Amino acid sequence: MDDSITNWLDQIAQNKLNPEDVERSLRYAKDLEQGLAKIRTFAQGVSIFGSARFAEDSKWCKSAEKLGQLLAQNGHTVITGGGPGIMQAANKGAYEAGGRSIGLNISLPYEQHVNPYLTDTMEFHYFFARKVMLAYAGKVYVFFPGGWGTMDEFAEILELVHTGKMPRMPIFLFGKSFWRPLDRYYRTKFVQQKVIKAAALKLYKLTDDVNEIVKAANKIGHPSIHDNIYNDNHSGTIKIKETQPLDF
């Protein structure tokens, strides 16, 4: 650990960063360090993404709450961005079922606030650090309907899996009616223009069934708190067979 810090400080000196950039790098490191410390306190679970803007009585929030409840009842930690809407619904389901309910919040000037259904929480300043932790904490990823933030999170995890920068894990798009136009766009534009291969579309699955997600989490099981799936992927690329769909 001491050598790592010394090497990092040496790199800062060698690159002759100005004081503002040194301070910026320290703020980045603080967000990442605190995030890693937090997620090491619980076993990997199911990371759930979705809009903060849906009302509690919307069909999407009701489904997210049911999913959170079922995951908790099956012993899985539920991880969200910690805010309102879909995030609150999933956390509420897990919390009221007596499960571990994690909120990795982001400080924003509007809209985002910590929801009251959390057993553990921390706040990030930077989106990128928060996304690292939402990915690192998950063994299954579920994307409910959402806006640019949800799209950004989905695209980043999809690309990390597609390029082998993280293990190939179940990725669900919940809400076929919402996500099917995007899936169709990928098929009619991306594939036809040959910017991706058709086989890459097997990396995710559309569903309307929360039980299907719970089944996938159960199939992976319950890794030990000391056995994060990503521990052995420090810097290299994992070789995956793009044409082989996950059995989830």
Instruction: Indicate the number of domains in the chain.
Output: 2
Residue 34 lies in a domain: yes
- CATH value at residue 123: 3.40.50.450
Q: Are residues 52 and 23 in the same domain?
A: no
Q: Higher model confidence: residue 160 or residue 225?
A: 160
SS3 86: helix
Q: Are residues 30 and 74 in the same domain?
A: no
Q: Are residues 172 and 83 in the same domain?
A: yes
pLDDT at 223: 86
Q: Are residues 191 and 121 in the same domain?
A: yes
SS3 157: helix
Residue 229 lies in a domain: no
Domain coverage including residue 164: 44-220
Count of other CB atoms within 10 angstroms of residue 52: 21
pLDDT at 162: 92
- Residue 188 scores a pLDDT above 50: yes
pLDDT at 50: 97
Q: Higher model confidence: residue 173 or residue 27?
A: 173
Q: Are residues 33 and 60 in the same domain?
A: no
Buried/exposed code over 147-179 (b: 16+ C-beta within 10 A; e: otherwise): eebbeebbeebbebbbeebbebbbbbbbbeebb
Residue 246 lies in a domain: no
pLDDT at 232: 62
Q: Are residues 126 and 181 in the same domain?
A: yes
Reported as a single tens digit per residue, the pLDDT across 14-69 is: 777 788 888 888 899 899 999 999 988 999 999 999 999 999 999 999 999 999 99
